[in-house]
Copies of this chain bind each other. A is one copy, B any other.
Amino acid sequence: MTDTPAVGRRERKKAATRQAIADAALELFLEHGFERVSVRDVAEKADVSTTTLFAHFPAKEALVFDREAEVEAALTAAVRERPAGQDVVEALRAHALTSWVRMASDPRRDGFTALVEQTPALREYGERMWMRHAGALGAAIAAELGRETDDLACSALARFVLEIPSLATGRHHSRATVETVFDLLIHGWQSSRHGSGDRPAPAHSPKDTPRPAK
């Protein structure tokens, strides 16, 4: 009785419908597998028409990744509202470590993670999902640095950072992955010639034909 918090009944119902669809989808996918469940099944279980389902989600794969909007908001917020004096890249690293690594190691998400990693269509969709945010992130970075909105270096940095989740899948130590890739981004490939690295000639090299040119 106390609050009419500016969100009307309509909006609430819409959100509820959306949530019902996403919940139904995840449950069915987890139980039977993504490709063995049709969108009609999902719509059925959520008690809506398939038309409605597609009014809320642009594709079957999107049913699994609700939350895109929030993820992008968090991403740009991480650079825009970073602690005073903090480097943009540093802010991104911090965000990656707190948000992504934490999420990856949350046991409640194990089923979800397994589902995505075992379903090619979902892995692919997930990777593209990250890249869809590259524009927004690049623009945010550029804005912070006072460069043109489509500044190449900023766009590139955004894309590279957003490759990290994809690079991390299938690797055990996701924290170390984040750290390593950020080191590479900050200091460049040049400095990454650690111990074992970059003396292509000495060890085994029959592969150095002195002058092929072309």
A residues sitting closer than 8 Å to B (CB atoms) are 80-81, 83-90, 94, 124, 127-128, 131, 144-147, 152-153, 155-157, 159-160, 163, 166-167, 171, 177, 180-181, 184-192, 196-201, 203-214
- Closest-by-CB residue of B relative to A127 is B131
**Which 9 A/B pairs are nearest by Cβ-Cβ distance?**
A188-B188, A85-B209, A146-B200, A84-B208, A84-B205, A187-B188, A84-B210, A153-B192, A145-B200
Identify which of B83, B189, B208 contacts A212 (C-beta below 8 A).
Answer: B83
Flag if A163 contacts B152 (CB, 8 Å). Answer: no
- Determine how close the nearest CB of chain B comes to the CB of A9; give it in whole angstroms: 34
> B residues within 8 A CB of A81?
212
Bound Cα distance from A30 to B171, whole angstroms: 43
User: What are 20 A-B residue pairs whose CB atoms fall within 8 Å in the complex?
Assistant: A84-B205, A84-B209, A85-B207, A86-B212, A88-B200, A88-B207, A90-B212, A124-B128, A144-B200, A144-B207, A145-B197, A146-B196, A153-B192, A155-B167, A156-B160, A156-B163, A156-B180, A156-B184, A159-B163, A159-B167
